[in-house]
A = this chain, B = another copy of it.
């Protein structure tokens, strides 16, 4: 048994192959995985297919593609049903653990959101993105554009599309952890802004009891008013909330201030221990940290009428290959 993340993808790949009435190639499988919310490239699919072949679960038919074996079919129906329900918090914890960015050396990986947009909307989307990022409603101005034929990035981009990777606010949790502070993401939500100031969370969805990313739910419901906010100072922005032990407040403050030297900035406050944060109650002994999330820039693109498929908290990326938009 290798790591659970690989196992999950193996199962998903077997499910896709088993549902097809003809052999399937890596490209089609990657495409279908994409539809199911896995940001995984064709090369990564080939790697997984080799594991499946070795285990005798799939069979290769020259260049046509793979079919599932009887042995694979049994494996699929037996043990693997339990892997269909992925909780968001599981993926978050995995990515938090993999965040290696060092605030002093200014090197390492951060967590990114991946958003898929039609190439024909490139100019317009980049205009909105620039406008939104300059308005400061994203946690970092650095982004990376990934083309469909990129060799450097392990992000699957369908034909005719491009991807925007931007810094995800869960990076804060990874950085805090790397500095010895246990930080637990609690809720994704909508923050009511009035006169450029945060007033109250107006909606929240928990990270722990859900299989769909809360931020994705809010983007898809078109619940934000990022563009209105930029223009008037009033509106609803995407925000999330984590807690840390109250005793770590001072250290957390140092760490999050230091992060500003790396262009990572978006936390609103470190709440008082045991006290409500913008009307969300905290556990006794915990301090809440609300953050205006990176996905606001993506929601702004959606608000501008450009179709966008958002995958928040998607993968990790070397922060130094990400650049400020000029």
Q: Mark A173-208, 1 if CB is under 8 A from B, else 0.
A: 000000000000011010010000001111111111
- Choose, from A78-86, A153-161, A309-317, the stretch at the interface: A78-86
Q: Across the two chains, which residue of chain B brings its CB closest to A204?
A: B211
| A218 to B, closest residue via Cβ | B212
Which residue of the partner chain, among B85, B201, B210, B276, contacts A202 with CB atoms under 8 Å?
B85
Name which residue of chain B comes closest to A276, CB basis: B82
A84: B residues at CB distance < 8 A: 192, 200, 202, 279
Contact partners of A85 in chain B: CB under 8 A: 200-204, 279-280
**In whole Å, how far is A205's beta carbon from the nearest beta carbon of chain B?**
4
Cβ contact within 8 Å between A186 and B209: yes
Of chain B, the residue at the smallest CB distance from A211 is B203
* A189 contact set on B, CB distance < 8 A: 211
Query: Residue of B at shortest CB range from A220?
Result: B221
Chain A contacts with B in 48-94, Cβ cutoff 8 A:
81-82, 84-85, 87
Instruction: Decide yes or no whether A126 CB sits under 8 A from chain B.
Output: no
Hey, which chain B residues are within 8 Å of A276, CB to CB? 82
Query: Counting CB contacts under 8 A, is A135 at the interface?
Result: no
Give 1 or 0 for each of A280-315: 1 = CB within 8 Å of chain B CB: 100000000000000000000000000000000000
Q: A217 an interface residue at 8 Å Cβ cutoff?
A: yes
CB distance from A91 to the nearest CB of B (A): 14
Please name all residues of chain B whose beta carbon is closer than 8 Å to the beta carbon of A204 when the two chains form the complex.
85, 87, 209-211
Interface residues of chain A, those whose CB is within 8 Å of chain B, are: 81-82, 84-85, 87, 186-187, 189, 192, 199-212, 217, 220-221, 276, 279-280
